[in-house]
Structure 1
Amino acid sequence: MRSSRRRHPLLVPVLLCACAVLVAPPTAAEGDSGGTGLSGAPGYSARVVALYEEAAVATQQYELGRSEAEAQRAQAQRLEKLLVREREQIAVLHEDLGRIARARYREGGGLPYTVQLLLADSPEELMRGHRVVRQANLAVDKAVSRSRRAEARLAADEKQAVAEWRKLQRRNADLAETKRAIEKKLEDALWMLQGQADASAAAGACPGATRLGQPPTGTQRAWVAPVEGYVLSAGFGSGGARWANRHTGQDFAVPVGTPVRAVGAGQVVRVSCGGAFGLQIVIRHPDGYYTQYAHLASLAVDPGEQVATGQWIGQAGTTGNSTGPHLHFEVRITPELGSGIDPVPWLLKHGVDL
């Protein structure tokens, strides 16, 4: 009935999937407690929803900004590669200039024209030498021009690269601030939700069903795991000082607010909020088995309601006999405690490998 894991910090990437939340007006959910329902302070649920919606908007902005930052990073990396190639090209041009200068020196290109005329054996030799010198001068001029253009491009590209990196640094600073705001909003919303759940469990009276926005696409599978992004903690039959006998289910360590899914289609036969299990739901499936979802922070279904495979039926929490946020999941042959079987092989038999 509890996880051996201590309460741990919120894991934001997992919690972001809980941002899309729609809440119906509170209604009394019937259950084992027989209470008349506990709705909390006026506007409490609305405040939780508002925080979720603000976090959802901030998350969208964060994702957009992160995509833009990644694009800027890629552009800066392309510019860096271009700078490397241009530096290599300029080095080659400098080598060419040095080679041409040395050749001109060896061929007398550095002598005054009058001296070349006196040293020539014939007019033809002089003309040939003149053509060689003219061609060498043209080659030098072209090489110098190419080198200057390459250096100008290099300077411009370096300036652009610096500007892009500075823009990226500013964007990253903005994203970090946005992320901190998201974490704070989620933490406030989720622990407010847990606080309401604790009050309900203590009073033994269930709050109204908080309708969760469902995943965008329905599952095509007949059976699924009860949560996503989990770590398996206490298993079926394990011992522990907080249990009267042996552990009667499988625990999934997840943050508060993680959507809890119906593992298969069925009917909600029990919603209760007091005792060791805290806020809990029991579903009867067509094959005669029952599944239990305990220690919840919110309820999203009412007794008698038909649910589909993968439908979000509540949010994980740490109500009741629990030492940290997790989902306690059981498979039973009756709706009552004490008729449980090991959930892991049962789920595996239904095609769900945890």
Structure 2
Amino acid sequence: MRQRRIRPLVVPAVLLCTLAAFAGPRTEASEGSEGAEGAGTSAEVAQLYEEASAATQRYEEGQRKAAVQQARADRLEQLLVRERRQISALHDDLGRIARAQYRSGGDVPLAAQMLLADSPEDLMRGQRVLWQADLAVNNAVAKSSRAERKLAADQRAADATRRSVEAHNVRLAFLKQGIEDKLKAAQWQLQGEADQSVAAGKCRGAARLDQPETPSTRAWVPPVEHYELSAGFDSAGEHWAHRHTGQDFAVDIGTPVRAVGEGRVVSVSCGGAFGIEIVVSHPGGYYTQYAHLAAVTVDQGEQVRTGQWIGQSGTSGNSTGPHLHFEVRLTPYLGSGIDPVPWLAERGAL
């Protein structure tokens, strides 16, 4: 499973849930309801979420690899700069050797040198100097040629590395964008089905989803895995007839919503200001509410374990944007709520 990433209290309270009409109709789902109409879309969204997460991880890993490759390309470029300097220096050396050879008589024919030499020893010394000069020239030319070939090979390697980085990034971005586009379309299809349920005041049956592969070993967890906190408990705003009764978690439509602790589902409702909502009772006399959902994955009366997916977030009911409205209550009913943030923090769930 992905690691939980918490980013608390950094998002303005723009994803607000309106409680002005909380007295509106709320139709309870029947226990053990069957034939969930939205199960297909819910499962598709859940699957696409996993694929999007995996694609994001691959993209981020690709970006890290690209950074390594770019650093390698930068080092190659630095080597190329040094090699160009060395080649320039070799060319300068060739010029100096040629000029020195000219001054030492390197352009005088051997027969003339024999006639002009004072002694055989002078001739041999002069000849050795010429041979050494010729050898130096030949060595310098060979070294320069090798350096130029290496420079060309390194330049090709640097160019190939850059092309590889660019092509890899394009492929990953295309894959990631394709999955995200499919997810977005499925999310709004799921939300449309949720809105139909709310308008009819009748919940669809539970959309059974494959649960996380690694069940939670903790007693308490946050209601969603990845989130940002937005509107808080008891905050005021133009969207509420009374003060805010819970804590909003800014998440996208279709995000798996988890039971924060083990307990029993006491109600599944569709209609009214909260849209689709679930209330769970927990040992110790506390109740938790999960509202503005796009789908539910449990039935009334069902026992749930900590971290179990019980629904998918949405923007049903009186909501101005996708988020999860979460409450901790002393009773199953609205008006008995306490601040969820310290309650979760005391239990190590934030």
Q: 1:265 to 1:97 in 2, by over 3 A?
A: farther
Question: What is the distance in 1 between the residues matched to 2:278 and 2:221?
Answer: 17
Partner of 2:27, secondary structure, is coil
2:84 corresponds to which of 56, 67, 87: 87
Q: 1:102 to 1:199 in 2, by over 3 A?
A: same
Q: 1:52 to 1:335 in 2, by over 3 A?
A: closer
Question: What is the distance in 1 between the residues matched to 2:276 and 2:216?
Answer: 26
TM-score by length of 2: 0.79
Q: 1:213 to 1:104 in 2, by over 3 A?
A: farther
Q: Which residue does the alignment assign to 1:136?
A: 133
1:33 aligns with 2:27: yes
2:175 corresponds to which of 169, 178, 181: 178
Q: Which residue does the alignment assign to 2:196?
A: 199
Percent of aligned positions that are identical = 56
Q: Which residue does the alignment assign to 2:301?
A: 304
Partner of 1:226, secondary structure, is coil
1:46 aligns with 2:46: no
Q: Which residue does the alignment assign to 1:292?
A: 289
Q: Deviations over 1:163-199 (max 9, x none)?
A: 5544554444444443332222111100001111111
1:247 aligns with 2:241: no
Q: Post-superposition shift, 1:308?
A: 2.3
Q: Deviations over 1:2-44 (max 9, x none)?
A: x94159xxxxxxxxxxxxxxxxxxxxxxxx6245669686xx6
Q: 1:74 to 1:4 in 2, by over 3 A?
A: closer
Q: Deviations over 1:199-254 (max 9, x none)?
A: 11122211121233333323333222212332222111111233232111111111
1:346 corresponds to which of 333, 337, 343: 343
1:188 aligns with 2:182: no
Question: What is the distance in 1 between the residues matched to 2:253 and 2:68?
Answer: 36
Partner of 2:294, secondary structure, is strand
Q: How many residues align?
A: 325
1:210 corresponds to which of 207, 212, 236: 207
TM-score by length of 1: 0.78
- The CA RMSD over aligned residues, in Å, is 3.2
1:265 aligns with 2:265: no
- 8 Å contact 2:77–2:158 — kept in the other structure? no
Which region of structure 1 is more displaced relative to structure 2, 122-131 or 246-255?
A: 122-131
Partner of 1:181, secondary structure, is helix
Matches within 5 A, 1:22-171: 33-35=27-29, 45-46=39-40, 49-50=43-44, 53=47, 74-75=68-69, 78-79=72-73, 81-85=75-79, 86-171=83-168
- 8 Å contact 1:52–1:189 — kept in the other structure? no
Unaligned runs of 5+ in 2: 1-11, 17-25
1:5 aligns with 2:14: yes
Question: What is the distance in 1 between the residues matched to 2:141 and 2:130?
Answer: 16
